[in-house]
Structure 1
Amino acid sequence: MWTVPKPKYRTGSCGEGEIAVNIGGVRVVLYGDVLSRYPDSRLAELLNCSPGNHEGISSLCDDFDPGRNEFYFDRDPDAFKCIIDVYYFNEIHIKPGICPICFIKEMEFWKIDQSVLDECCKSYLSEKEEELTEIANKVKVILEDLEPDRCVTCTQRCQRFLWRLMEKPGSSRSARVIAIASFLSVLVSAVVMCVGTIPELQVADAEGMLVEHPTLEAIETACMSWFTAEYLLRLASSPHKLHFVLSFMNVVDFMAIVPFYVVLSLTYFGTSSMMELTNVQQAVQALRIMRIARIFKLARHSAGLQTLTFALKRSLKELGLLLLYMSVGIFLFSALAYTLEQSHPETLFRSIPQSFWWAIITMTTVGYGDIYPKTTLGKCNAAVSFLCGVIAIALPIHPIINNFVVYYNKQKVLETAAKHEVELMELKSGRDVRRKKKFM
């Protein structure tokens, strides 16, 4: 509800204690006592400015009509309709369809502090500012790839060339070839690791133990040599080496390379007594299986995997609720199953912790059949448990899908906006060059 009379939209002259402003062709008559609520605003300063002070008036507005006592502003009238709300409600809402960044510039022009924005509009504004920051970062990356080398020393030029070659697949054809080779090496290494476990393809060593075929070992050695050379070149060419080493994906790369050399060292330098230890051999196998972590590097070149990861991060609350519901259901139905099945002489539910496994595979509708109820009440409990499991799993699906779609579309818009920004900058720079040549 309006607590004071609304601003008047009329063509006649304004009365005493009123001020007439023309905002982009829309004439509005405002009350002086209302404008005085914010004495530091532009309209309040204009109200207090004497009619004879033409210099002060011209500094506050774009034009002034002394005959009609009307002040003209070449501003957005729709944004101004939101601006004047602060004089009546002490808060401002950004209407749909108005760019929040442009609206902030309007508030700065009218000398209205951003603290009067409503909380919902502040969150919307912060979201838009984050998008602009992301666009600026993408534009910066694109410009860094396009600009020529300006390094002083030969070492700096070589470092920059290697960095582009190893980290920027779109910078040149050679960088694209290296990215494809890295992608194929990851796949070949994963396939070799899987195929090497097939007994028919393994060979017996001197002690009669089955080991990987020498051909597969040679392929794995070649892949690991490529991974090592790639990691060292990227580390050597990195402008921020500490940040490079601590990066999550680079930690994964390092952990995928190290097991190969640990196994090689144990085999070459280790004593016979050490190699006979079962725990050491199991540790070596565990280290070798860690090379499958190299597959996560594919996420660096896949926008879909990055989007899925972000969607899961944004959906941690929903996933947490899912785990909470499932945990409560597992505890409840496993306890009921243990209690109801105790009357059967051939019960498979020996304890409540053992019943947890049955509750998990039942609520997730896997149902291996290794543990199952035999009493009528136990079967009814099982039916209720898998129905509750289906409902609990289906609840967070929509928020997760929605987060995925929103983030994916947002990334597409940001990439398009960044490319358009770069194109505009190129057009502007070309126009400036032509203008300079024209006046030379």
Structure 2
Amino acid sequence: MGSDNITIFVGSVQFKTTRSLLKAIDGTLLSDLDETCNQYDKEENVYNFDRDPELFRHILNSYRIKEVHIPRTVCPFVYKKELQFWKIPIQLIAPCCWQYLYESESNLEDLKIVVNEDNNYKTNWNAKNYIFPETNLVPVTEKKQEKEKSSSNEGKDGNMSKVWMFLEEPGSSTAAKIWYYFYIFVVLVSVVLYLIWLDPSFRVPRYLSTLSEDSADVLRLNSSAYNYLKTSLYNEKIMMAGGTDPHPVMFILDVFSFVFFTFELFLSICVCPNKKEYFYDLYNLIKIIVCISMTVTLGLEINKDILKEDLSVARFMIFCRALTSLRLLLIFRLRKIFNSLHIMLVALKHSLKELMLLLFTFLVLVVIYACLIFSAEIESDMFPNTQLTMWWAVITMTTVGYGDFYPVSTFGYIGGVVCAINGIIVLALPIAAIAGVFSNLFSRNSEFQSHKKASEEEKQILAATK
């Protein structure tokens, strides 16, 4: 074949070009065409390829201009596979097409995150295999073995699986949805109890434990002695917590909440199919912390005299009481129903790099401005140490401005202005990136939910016609 001309049939469409043109990009499939190729037809003296002729027109054009441009009418992933088939290096993609290609890849990665995080993904349908068919290329024999294995496991652990679905998946049944809303109701009641626990209107004389003779029961003291203890030794909240008990109705509701959360936690651990993943889940760890802290606070609430005997025990009770406020986070169980709330949590999870960047940059600037203000105010008594200047820098950069500490010198004023402006800029930039992550995930989730709904409706129509 001494002629430079070459004829190529792609999907029954004829293309005529020259070998010298195809040599413009070395190492590709077209540049190495010869008579030994499997696609060569000796009788017709042509090369046959079963590919898309419309795409090949753009592939051939890449040899003419020595760079790759992706047509906007073609899916970038399809065109990328076409480049791989013709062995054209991806480095030749023109910069004007980078956004079209890599933005699509980024959107696909976000979609994979949404699919993997979908609440009903593991139970209702295999969304991963549905959306990404290449992962579903499993031999029939292997599928049969997996089906037999899953059926045997279902027979063995069927009851535990049903209980787990009842506890964790509100979409699995009507009873599960009722249980789900009842759980949220108990969480809200528990939170309200926490908020009004030390309200004087809901405190009564002590009845949970017997008082010792030397116990400072505020309800047995006269008003002058009570005011003395309140102003000189203790504050009113401590006197209220130690000298009174919650209203019996409040206490009963609090005990019910404790029993409810503990029973649900114990049952979910018993029926959980994967104990390791269960304890790695932050939400489940919060439930464990809440149950432990409620156990401690209820035990010490019944026996308050221990608090009087040992101040460290009283402080420990206050710490545990503060931990019980985490019960409010149990409201995030709503993520199982409100998908947008779940996507917000997923966005935070996948924005750790941006959050760490924000924290690191913020801490560096806090230290810098703390040192500058301390030096600028060295002659004043406003900032006795750098710890207070760091506190001032944090409050100024977040534009809170309590006014408890402030510069009084000219250089201090200048440093304060620069610190406040810099704080706005530093906080705004990473937050925009985090908002971008949420926006992308929210858009991909909307697309996925629409696709999922359409697929389910299609299945129902097909099932009805059979």
1:141 partnered with 2:123: yes
| 8 Å Cα contact 1:338/1:355 also seen in 2 | yes
Summarize the Cα distance change of 1:373–1:242 in structure 2 as closer, same or farther, 3 Å threshold: closer
Tell me which of the two structures has the higher relative contact order, counting C-alpha pairs closer than 8 angstroms and 6 or more residues apart.
2
CA distance in 2, matches of 1:189, 1:415: 33
1:16 partnered with 2:49: no
Match of residue 102, structure 1, among 56, 60, 78: 78
CA distance in 2, matches of 1:135, 1:65: 50
CA RMSD of aligned residues (A): 4.3
Match of residue 291, structure 1, among 324, 348, 357: 324
The residue that corresponds to 1:261 in the other structure is: 295
Summarize the Cα distance change of 1:299–1:126 in structure 2 as closer, same or farther, 3 Å threshold: same
The residue that corresponds to 1:337 in the other structure is: 373
- Unaligned 5+ runs, structure 2: 128-146, 218-242
Give the drift of 1:298: 3.1
CA distance in 2, matches of 1:230, 1:323: 36
CA distance in 2, matches of 1:68, 1:418: 50
CA distance in 2, matches of 1:342, 1:23: 81
Residue identity in the other structure for 1:181: F
Secondary structure of the 1:408 match is helix
Compute the TM-score of the two structures, normalised by the length of structure 2.
0.70
1:200 partnered with 2:201: yes
Summarize the Cα distance change of 1:132–1:88 in structure 2 as closer, same or farther, 3 Å threshold: farther
Summarize the Cα distance change of 1:185–1:30 in structure 2 as closer, same or farther, 3 Å threshold: farther
CA distance in 2, matches of 1:135, 1:83: 37
Pairs aligned (count): 401
Judge which range, 285-294 or 135-144, deviates more: 135-144
Give the drift of 1:87: 10
Residue identity in the other structure for 1:143: W
Summarize the Cα distance change of 1:15–1:218 in structure 2 as closer, same or farther, 3 Å threshold: farther
1:107-122 alignment to 2 at 5 Å?
110=85, 112=87
Give the drift of 1:218: 1.0
Summarize the Cα distance change of 1:134–1:365 in structure 2 as closer, same or farther, 3 Å threshold: closer
Give the drift of 1:359: 2.2
CA distance in 2, matches of 1:101, 1:426: 31
Summarize the Cα distance change of 1:299–1:173 in structure 2 as closer, same or farther, 3 Å threshold: same
Summarize the Cα distance change of 1:290–1:358 in structure 2 as closer, same or farther, 3 Å threshold: same
The residue that corresponds to 1:280 in the other structure is: 313
CA distance in 2, matches of 1:126, 1:385: 36
Secondary structure of the 1:395 match is helix
Match of residue 111, structure 2, among 120, 125, 131: 131
The residue that corresponds to 1:161 in the other structure is: 162
Summarize the Cα distance change of 1:244–1:349 in structure 2 as closer, same or farther, 3 Å threshold: closer
Give the drift of 1:266: 6.0
Cα deviation digits, residues 259-315 of structure 1 (max 9, x gap): 2233455678x9976873221222123223322223333334333343333333444
The residue that corresponds to 2:185 in the other structure is: 184
Secondary structure of the 1:369 match is coil
CA distance in 2, matches of 1:267, 1:78: 76
1:417 partnered with 2:393: no
Match of residue 391, structure 2, among 357, 361, 380: 357
Give the drift of 1:234: 2.2
| 8 Å Cα contact 1:82/1:95 also seen in 2 | no
Give the drift of 1:425: 5.8
The residue that corresponds to 1:308 in the other structure is: 344
| 8 Å Cα contact 1:334/1:359 also seen in 2 | yes
- Unaligned 5+ runs, structure 1: 1-13, 51-55, 435-440
1:77 partnered with 2:54: yes
| 8 Å Cα contact 1:86/1:116 also seen in 2 | no
The residue that corresponds to 1:227 in the other structure is: 261
